[in-house]
Structure 1
Amino acid sequence: MAKIIPFKAVRPSRDKVGLVASRSYEDYSRKELKAQLRFNPFSFLHIINPGYKFQHEVSGVERFKLVRNRYLEFKEDDTFIKDEIPSFYIYQLNTRDHSFCGVFAGASIEDYDNNIIKKHEDTIERREVLFKDYLKTVGFNAEPVLLTYPDNDNIALVIKKTTSQRPEYEFATPDKSVHRFWLINKKDDVETIRREFKKIKTLYIADGHHRSASSSLLAKELRSEDNNQTGNEAYNYFLSYMIPESELRISDFNRMIKDLNGLTKEEFLIKLDEFYRIENRGEELYQPTKKHHFSMYLDDDFYSLYLRKSVYNFSDALSTLDTQILYKTILEPILGISDLRNNKRISYGYGNQHSLKMKDLIDKGKFKVGFSMLPVTIDEMKLIAEEGLKMPPKSTYIEPKLRSGLTIYEF
């Protein structure tokens, strides 16, 4: 049964929250990042990019220590405050075309280790260790793991009651999104949420596999150093944002490849014919409407590719996944791409408009061929996790994407 806890969040003061909260660091172009650091002294980006203060690039342990220093400065200046009462926190994000509402909480490392919190992606060990060392040095976590749970009426009632009141925070961002934030610290409401999550057999990681794996590594290390541990230490939990399955949004990742692996266009199409019924759609922007149907763009033309199911072996949940089918029938055997994480001949794009972006990049000669497919569904993602399998990298682009620095979990 899932165990979650309320916690005393460190968070921005009400008057500065819109200035503090930032998008993910990787989401900024160099020009945007420079502008934020230059003109917004309250941005959380100053904490995770601490070398800016000295106009000097820093990395490794030196950077981790400076992150810690910038964080303490934000607390000393009262840019950050710490709650006195352990709370759950509701965060509502309204974008131009979707609304998300979930709960910040501490999720159990024990549940993660015991597979009550299930995974669907592989992680890279060196990244796990690097982020574990980072967490140990800075002493806080500001990047929540996105967990999803089956819709629950009792949790929904607490959220509805809380969100009918004036929010603690309410601010807009330049992408025309509106952000609202409430505290849940009344005893009855806290206990209702804890009790209802105890009834849930399984939580699923939607986004944040490396962050959760690193938190598990850190807990093991700190337990080995702590002779007086009780099991209730903060390091036995990790910062999570819990969202009901019905509100999770999954988009597809397209694949773009720089060459045809030495094949001519005609040779490539003949090899494709073994596994697919191929139809040239010309300049028509073809988008798949069914599973196991793919769109391909090559030499100014779109193609529809329909899998020949009679020649493909469906053996488990992974084998039915379109990203895996594409990998096993085209990317690996024909285009010679075995390592999807590190091969520089392949690139990825996501979102509803990316087919047009993919076409533009191929027309400009940056790539030779591109593929798109329907997004993975939440049921497919759960089934992969239940069977202990792992999706190919870049199989899902999952929303919501959360602001950094909105709630911070200390340990």
Structure 2
Amino acid sequence: MAILKPFKAWHPDPKNVEQIACVPYDVVSVKEARSIAKGNPKSFLHVVRPEIDLPEGTDPHDDEVYDMGAENLNKFLGNGILQQEKQPQLYVYRLIRNGRPQTGIFACVSVEDYDNKVILKHELTRPDKEDDRTRHILTQQAHAEPVMLTYKDDQATENLIKKTTEGEPLFEFEASDGVIHKLWRADKTEAFVNAFKSISHLYIADGHHRCKSASRAAKQKRKNNSVHTGNEEYNFFPAVIFPMSNMNILPYNRVVHTIPNNFLNTLKHKFSLTPDANPQPSEKGTIRIYIDGDWYSMELPLANNPNSVQKLDVHRLQEFVLSPLLDIDDPRRNENISFVGGIRGTEELEKLVDNGTAELAISMYATSIEELVEVSDEGRLMPPKSTWFEPKLRSGLLVHTF
């Protein structure tokens, strides 16, 4: 069973929500964050990207960055920019992109569920990023941003979500990227909690490092609390939990900065290539490559008797192209490869090759939510950058403090 917990969220006054809500910390660079938040002291980027309030060139892991984040959050809480609910609440959160709605439950989930594999992962985490997020959590005494989880569709929760969204939302606004955001308080709090008791697993979609960091922070708090009971707020962290049918995954494309001489001929010799291809693959098992100003379609080989990971296009690309032909054995750390979210389109891939930033671009077919769940259920791990979820959650809508 999955634990769902109401919480006394801090949220903006509805009339200020558009000024406060921001993109997640990890989808913008420091330079982009500075530009977005310029002239807007209410932007939540001052909390999740506090280095924007320090001199350019400040090390993002410097003590003053973490202190600035805590100071900014305390200002938001103390100056009325954010207001706290009087009672623990659950919420329903809907994002609408290009007319397509995606609706989930905004609540706290349990660190214990993460530690005991009720909440399942599909990617490795990096210790340096864990350290960074854990320190932000402990310094701020808060989880400033939610993670994105998914679950197998369930009629009981669907009925509760539908009933909740028939009322007036607490928030409704359109962000700068055209995505519409709506948030409702849920009246049937206990019903939601009980419905999740029949859901066996939750799956991490976006936020592996925040999940792991919540676990590490809770462990540290337990260690320092001689009267720990397990009910303290640090044992829970905020998440937006969507049914699988609502999830939208875009491709996570790749560019290679330097390739060997005559690499196109090498590919033609080893694989089936078709020139003048559409930049976007039309089916699983195929990729598109952009090289020397032209697009080619290429079929990916498949291992004999493949497991759930070996069936993934991102793994097949790694196994048969990146590793043996380009010596990119560890794409997490190899500086010869970069990743481009599908939201940027194939035009971005062409631009990176045409301007000399890269010599090869690879357009992928999107990993499906069913593939993600299958890999997670089997306890396996996907290659890095296998999924790009869109639309992104906004930060600053609901903040969980402890």
Q: What TM-score comes out, normalization by structure 2 length? A: 0.93
User: Counterpart of 1:147 in 2: which secondary structure?
Assistant: strand
Task: Among all aligned residue pairs of Structure 1 and Structure 2, give the percentage whose two residues are the same amino acid.
Answer: 34
- Residue 69 of structure 1 is matched in structure 2 by 71
- Secondary structure class of the residue paired with 2:200: coil
Alpha-carbon distance, 1:332 to partner: 0.4
- In structure 2, what is the Cα distance between the partners aligned to 1:50 and 1:347? 26
TM alignment of 1:130-169, pairs within 5 A = 130-169=132-171
Superposition pairs of residues 129-278 of structure 1, within 5 angstroms: 129-184=131-186, 186=187, 189-270=188-269, 273=270, 276-278=271-273
Match among 355, 364, 376 for residue 355 of structure 2: 364
1:124 alignment partner, one of 119, 123, 126: 126
Q: Does 1:298 align with 2:288?
A: no
Contact preservation (8 Å) 2:301, 2:316? no
Alignment of 1:291-370 (within 5 A): 291-309=284-302, 312-351=303-342, 354-370=345-361
Partner SS state of residue 310, structure 2: helix
Q: Who is 2:104 aligned against?
A: 102
* Distance in 2, Cα, partners of 1:85 & 1:377: 38
Offset of residue 233 of structure 1: 0.8
1:217 to 1:304, Cα distance in 2 relative to 1, 3 A: same
> For 1:220 and 1:286, how far apart are their aligned partners in 2?
47
Instruction: Measure, in 1, the Cα distance between the counterparts of 2:340 and 2:54.
Output: 35
Give the Cα separation in 2 of the matches to 1:86 and 1:400. Answer: 27
How far apart, CA to CA, are the structure 1 residues paired with 2:385 and 2:366? 11
For the Cα contact (< 8 Å) 1:260–1:268, is it kept in 2? no
Residue of 364, 376, 383 corresponding to 1:373: 364
Does structure 1 retain, via aligned residues, the 8 Å contact 2:251–2:366? yes
Q: Provide Cα deviations, 1:142-166, integer angstroms capped at 9, x if missing partner.
A: 2111110122222222222221111
Instruction: State the SS of the aligned residue for 2:183.
Output: strand
Change (3 A) 1:339 1:158: same
Pairwise CA distance, 1:218: 1.2
- Matched residue SS, 1:319: coil
- Offset at residue 277 of structure 1 (A): 2.2
Structure 1 length normalisation: TM-score? Answer: 0.91
Runs of 4+ in 1 over 6 A off after TM superposition: none
Residue aligned with 1:334, SS: helix
Q: 1:133: how far off?
A: 1.8
Q: Which is higher, the Rg of structure 1 or of structure 2?
A: 1
Q: CA deviation at 1:112?
A: 0.7
Distance in structure 1 (CA, Å) of the matches to 2:349 and 2:54: 39
In structure 2, the partner of 1:394 is 385
Distance (Å, rounded) in 1 between the aligned partners of 2:87 and 2:32: 37
In 1: Cα distance, 2:120 partner to 2:377 partner: 7
- 1:79 equivalent to 2:81? Answer yes
1:114 CA drift (Å): 0.9
The one-letter amino acid of 2:345's match is H
1:278 aligned partner, one-letter code = L
CA gap of 1:223–1:333, structure 2 versus 1, over 3 A, is same
Q: In structure 1, the residue corresponding to 2:15 is in which secondary structure? A: coil
Aligned-partner SS, 2:137: helix
Task: Judge conservation of contact 2:150–2:244 (CA < 8 Å) in 1.
Answer: yes
Distance 2:42 2:247 in 1: 30
**What is the alpha-carbon distance in structure 1 between the residues aligned to residue 267 and residue 146 of structure 2?**
44
* SS at 2:328 equivalent: coil
Instruction: Point out where structure 1 has 5 or more consecutive residues left out of the alignment.
Output: none
Q: 3-state SS of the aligned residue for 2:199?
A: coil
CA apart distance, 1:353:
5.9
Aligned with 1:320: secondary structure?
Answer: coil
Judged with a 3 Å threshold, the aligned counterparts in structure 2 of structure 1 residues 140 and 334 are, in CA distance, closer, same or farther, namely: same
CA contact (8 A) 1:288 1:374 kept: yes
Which residue of the partner structure matches residue 24 of structure 1?
A: 24
Mapped contact 2:252–2:386 kept (Cα < 8 A):
yes
Matches within 5 A, 1:16-55: 16-28=16-28, 33-50=33-50
CA distance 1:49–1:129, change in 2 (3 Å): closer
Q: Which residue of 1 aligns with 2:92?
A: 90
- Let me know the Cα RMSD of the aligned residues: 2.0
Instruction: Describe the superposition over 1:298-324 as per-residue Cα deviations: whole angstroms up to 9, x where unpaired.
Output: 222222212344xx3343111111100
Specify the SS of the correspondent of 1:135. Answer: helix
How far, CA to CA, are the matches of 1:116 and 1:151 in structure 2?
A: 16
Matched-pair contact (CA < 8 Å) for 1:123–1:209: yes
Contact 1:132 1:218 (C-alpha < 8 Å) held by counterparts: yes
Q: Contact between 1:18 and 1:171, CA under 8 Å: does it hold in 2?
A: yes
Deviates more, 1:191-200 or 1:128-137: 128-137
The letter for the 1-side match of 2:103 is C
Query: 1:286, CA displacement in angstroms?
Result: 4.4
Query: Is residue 143–residue 238 contact of structure 2 (8 Å, CA) maintained in 1?
Result: yes
* Secondary structure at the counterpart of residue 17 of structure 1: helix
Distance 1:108 1:297, change over 3 A: same
- Distance in 1 of aligned mates of 2:28 and 2:397: 18
2:51 and 2:362 mapped to 1: Cα distance? Answer: 40
Q: Is the 8 A contact 2:8 2:89 kept in 1?
A: yes
| Partner Cα separation in structure 1 for residue 122 and residue 268 of structure 2 | 32
Using the TM superposition, name which of 170-179 and 79-88 deviates more: 170-179
Q: Describe the superposition over 1:113-172 as per-residue Cα deviations: whole angstroms up to 9, x where unpaired.
A: 111111000101222122112211110112111110122222222222221111111222
